[in-house]
Amino acid sequence: MNIRKVVIPVAGWGTRSLPASKNIPKEMLPVYNKPVVQYVVEEAMRAGVEDVIFVTNRDKSVIEDHFDYNLQLESVLERAGKREMLEQVRHVAEMVNIMAVRQKKQLGLGHAVLCARELVGNDPFAVMVGDDLMFGDDAGLQELVRVSKERSMPVIGVMEVPADRINRYGIVTGEEISPGVYSITEMVEKPAVGTTSSRLAIVGRYVLTPDIFEHLSRVKPGHGGEIQLTDALAALARERGMLAVKMGGLRFDAGDWVDYLSANVYLGLLDPGLRDGLRARLRAMLG
């Protein structure tokens, strides 16, 4: 399956990130020197995606603006001779094609994906949750794209989580058909702790076929009274089969403060210009 389009739902309120997200979309909060959503789009590009479809609301247009030219800023940087900055700012506008569709009511992740139906059309596509960050060599959406090409099946990303955290995720049960690849038998959105022995949690990366939209338009509100993507996926898995791939790399949930702060430190430590200074400060604080 060739994946050219990705749907990135970004219409959520971001209450976990308040008060930082009061007037800035949570996806625009910086992790080190880029907004969260830029890392997600860069990961999509590494997987071969060319078109990004944001599912937005009225307060999120700044996300689209981030991936557009800012001619005024560019001319200021040009006049100041700040070539490197200029290149970086321009590069963001040239990464991908951007489309946006409004989610006029916040009815859940499944509903957000359904809003993109017309823009997706009839090709397989990816979905990425806009505040899930994945870092590491070869980690991320490209792992799923590879498996979906090999097997011509929808594929979703999972990671193992501790048993007492399964109630925060969609949980997948499956049969391991090759190392780290599972044929899905069951999926439940945020099961209560102790109700399933599986610890394979969905991590916000999906490669889907357009027949998911039929299921999304039919599913009833599920967990939390919302239209859940997981419920539509479970129906699609029963109908045509679906794979889960245990993803490598590190995942950070940018809506969780421990993860958010850790992601900043992780990226800071990877920057040779910051590493020594950051290490010294961390050592002093921890000591």
Residue 247 sits in the site that holds ligand G1P (CB under 6 A): no
Kindly tell me which residue out of 170, 174, 222, 268 binds ligand G1P, with binding defined by CB under 6 A. 170
261: Cα within 13 Å, side-chain hemisphere: 3
Kindly tell me which residue out of 21, 145, 230, 268 binds ligand G1P, with binding defined by CB under 6 A. 230
Kindly tell me which residue out of 10, 128, 129, 245 binds ligand G1P, with binding defined by CB under 6 A. 129
75: Cα within 13 Å, side-chain hemisphere: 2
Closer of 28 and 92 to ligand G1P (Cβ):
28
Nearest by Cα to 109 from 127, 94, 124: 127
- Residue matched to tokens 């090709």: 123
Count of residues interacting with ligand G1P (CB under 6 A): 13
CA distance 83 to 224: 49
Residue 203 sits in the site that holds ligand G1P (CB under 6 A): yes
Positions 176 through 195 that interact with ligand G1P (CB under 6 A): 189
Kindly report the backbone phi and psi dihedral angles of residue 177, in degrees, each rounded to the nearest multiple of 5, phi listed first. -100, -20
**Residue with the CB atom nearest ligand G1P in the bound state:** 170
CB 64 within 8 A of CB 28: no
CA distance 56 to 62: 10
Closer of 125 and 169 to ligand G1P (Cβ):
169
Closer of 92 and 263 to ligand G1P (Cβ):
263
Closer of 70 and 262 to ligand G1P (Cβ):
262
| Strands 155-160, 132-135: pairing kind | unpaired
The residues binding ligand G1P (CB under 6 A) are 109, 129, 132, 169-170, 189, 201-204, 228-230
